[in-house]
Amino acid sequence: MPAVLPARRPARQRVIFGVLACRAMLNVLLRRMLALASLLFIPLLPAAELEVRVEPANAEVRRNVENYIGELGDRDERELLRYSRIAREQATRALQALGFYQPGIDAEVAAGDEPRLILRITPGEPVRLRNVTVRLDGPARDQPGFELPAKLLRPGDVLNHGRYEEAKQRILNQASRYGYFDGRFARQRLRVDPQQGAADIELVYDSGERYRLGEVRFAGDTPFDEDLLARMVPFQPGTAYDSALIAELNRALQSSGYFAGTRVDANPSSAVERRIPVDVLLTTREPRTLGLGVGFSTDVGPRVRADWTRHWVNPQGHSYGAEAELSAPRQNVGLYYDIPLDPPLTDKLRYVAGYQNEELADTDSLSRLLRLGPEWHSELANGWQRVLSLKWQREEYRLGDDSGLSTLLMPGIAFSYLRSDNRIDPSHGYRLQFEVAAAKEGVLSDANLVHANAQARGLTTLGRRHRFLGRVQLGGNWTDEYVNVPPSLRYFAGGDQSVRGYDYQSLSPTNSDGDRIGGRYQFAASVEYQFSVAERWRIAAFADQGNAFNDLEFPTLKQSVGLGLRWVSPVGPIRVDLAHPLDGDQGVRLHFSMGPEL
């Protein structure tokens, strides 16, 4: 039997239904548009304000009440009246947190265009600490550096719940730092007697046994020997846990120059018999980098710098690189090869070679210097950096009427120490540097010579805006035949880093023709005051003194004074100075330089 199909509506009826459906959709759309328009054009109610009046005035109480209650929103007068009871309860809790347990609080609502909830508060007498017991039980009691927060909770002080919680948190933080992960508060009681205005505190922390650090396990795709990685670890397995050691290991790996990423994990939950394994995940960096830079100073004018580094060569962590600097008076290129020692982050054996071509003092004097030899870099236990070196140098020069070829083999030693609160722009710190080298005639040398230098720089800041800097430089040559001392070891003063107000290398003894030939000795000193006028801008006033000379008994020192402007760029201060010599021989000289102040 064939299926019966529904009868089709006439065409006119289908048209009517379609029109009705469109009309219904338009009505819905219009209603939604009108609702949106009504929301857009309804005037916003003014936000209600909270006004806290404390008698006698107490800014800490007022701030704490305001923070507890928070914003009132767009409540009107009637809603504020209903809310006032809640506000009084919140204000009461805010006062109790600061030790005021018997306050007087009145609430009032002021009508107007901007309704206000006014709280009038009389804190009353505070509750004070009476009996305070803060004790540490267990092995942590004898732990050096584990300090109880006694200054936060002292009998006679006003009760402050925030300080009470802070005291507990300090104990927990120290327990976590020093590895007392099983510790707990055996007793933590705070009893408040508002009628007597007194509170008693008892905090007793039982530390439990201290955890220890286990084996350090390295993971990641690295080409380095386990021995090299192990020498970067600043602790031995079995060392008592200290989170500072974990942070030091992370810093050591990051500063090695071998890795693009490091992650150090010492999870107490992984401990076995209270020994926590240390898991290190390493990501090796790209082995090569190339750096280019440009600069300018009034000493050498425009200059271009370039360096190329191979950060690691083999599994033992050897590295090498090249660097060059080009300017009008000086061009040099250097090569080095580093072998890490133990510990590898501070101690290394470096082989260096370099060539330098320089115009000295004026365009008629020049030096071509070839230098090579090994250096042993190490850091002493007291923080001093030490470099032992054996340098062979060969120098061809022309200086005034003198010209020649000098060959010297000079063993030397250098010490340096830097203490600074910031690497780029310190506010306090100092740097000390000393070096001495010697040559013996006949031992691959054509002269007897002792060459020594010393430098000290210091910086301090008072009141954030007043900075005081000082610098002293000393240098000397001791030899029986000064004419055999090459220009690279003689002294010239003047310029951005020496005595401002004088041209670069313009301060020097002269020969009979007036040619500057360098001195046996050098002295330079500077004092400077800087005033911060904006976050990165400072003005400076300074006085410099110094010279290069041959006579220690009657040295002639040149002096200058000046003003300057400093801008602290992301890579260090940029300095612009105007300096005036006090001997009257020259006018004002502009100096432009950049680099760290220590």
pLDDT in tens, 289-298: 999 988 888 8
* pTM value surpassing 0.85: no
Residues 6+ apart with CB under 8 A from 42: none
Instruction: Note the pLDDT of residue 424.
Output: 87
Instruction: Note the pLDDT of residue 531.
Output: 96
- CA distances (Å), origin 487, targets 24, 276, 403, 484, 490: 100, 60, 10, 9, 5
Residue 452, beta-bridge partner list: 436, 476
Distance of CA 86 to the CA centre of its chain: 47
Q: Quickly list DSSP for 19-36.
A: HHHHHHHHHHHHHHHHHH
Give the least confident one: 24-38, 218-232, 305-319.
24-38
Look over the chain and give the mean of its residue pLDDT values, rounded to a whole number. Answer: 88
User: Which stretches within 42-127 are classed as H helix?
Assistant: 59-69, 77-97
Provide the sign of the torsion angle of the four alpha carbons 393, 399, 405, 406, taken in this order: negative
What CATH number does the domain located at 288-594 have? 2.40.160.50
Burial class (CB in 10 A: 0-12, 13-18, 19+), 285: middle
* 248-254: long-range pairs with CB below 8 Å, 24+: 249/216, 249/278, 249/280, 252/345, 253/280, 253/282
| Residue that the structure tokens 């400093």 belong to | 566
Instruction: Note the pLDDT of residue 360.
Output: 78
- CA distances (Å), origin 165, targets 85, 188, 193, 207: 28, 10, 19, 18
Instruction: Note the pLDDT of residue 598.
Output: 87
Token reading at 539? 């003005």
Under a CB-based contact definition with an 8 Å cutoff, are residues 440 and 413 in contact? Answer: no
Pairing, β 128-137 against β 184-193 = unpaired
* 316-321: long-range pairs with CB below 8 Å, 24+: 316/224, 316/225, 316/228, 316/340, 317/224, 317/225, 317/228, 317/256, 317/258, 317/344, 319/257
Token reading at 456? 């000290």
Residues 6+ apart with CB under 8 A from 477: 449, 450, 451, 485, 489, 490, 491, 520, 521
* Domain coordinates in residue numbering, the chain: 49-122, 128-206, 218-284, 288-594
Query: How do residues 206-252 score in pLDDT, each as one tens digit?
Result: 999 999 999 999 998 889 999 999 999 999 999 999 999 999 999 99
- Fold adopted by 128-206: Ubiquitin-like (UB roll) (3.10.20)
Query: How do residues 412-440 score in pLDDT, each as one tens digit?
Result: 999 999 999 988 899 999 999 999 999 99
Q: Is 324 helix (H, G, I), strand (E, B) or coil?
A: strand
If you average pLDDT over residues 137-164, what whole number do you get? 92
Residues 6+ apart with CB under 8 A from 73: 47, 48
On the question of a common fold for 49-122 and 218-284, the answer reads: yes
Residue 313 region by backbone torsions, left for phi larger than 0, else alpha for psi between -120 and 50, else beta: alpha
What CATH number does the domain located at 218-284 have? 3.10.20.310
Residues 6+ apart with CB under 8 A from 570: 424
Q: Is 535 helix (H, G, I), strand (E, B) or coil?
A: coil
Token reading at 37? 């328009």
Query: How do residues 325-358 score in pLDDT, each as one tens digit?
Result: 999 889 999 999 999 999 998 999 999 999 999 9
% the chain with pLDDT above 70: 91
- Fold adopted by 49-122: Ubiquitin-like (UB roll) (3.10.20)
Amino acid at 190: L
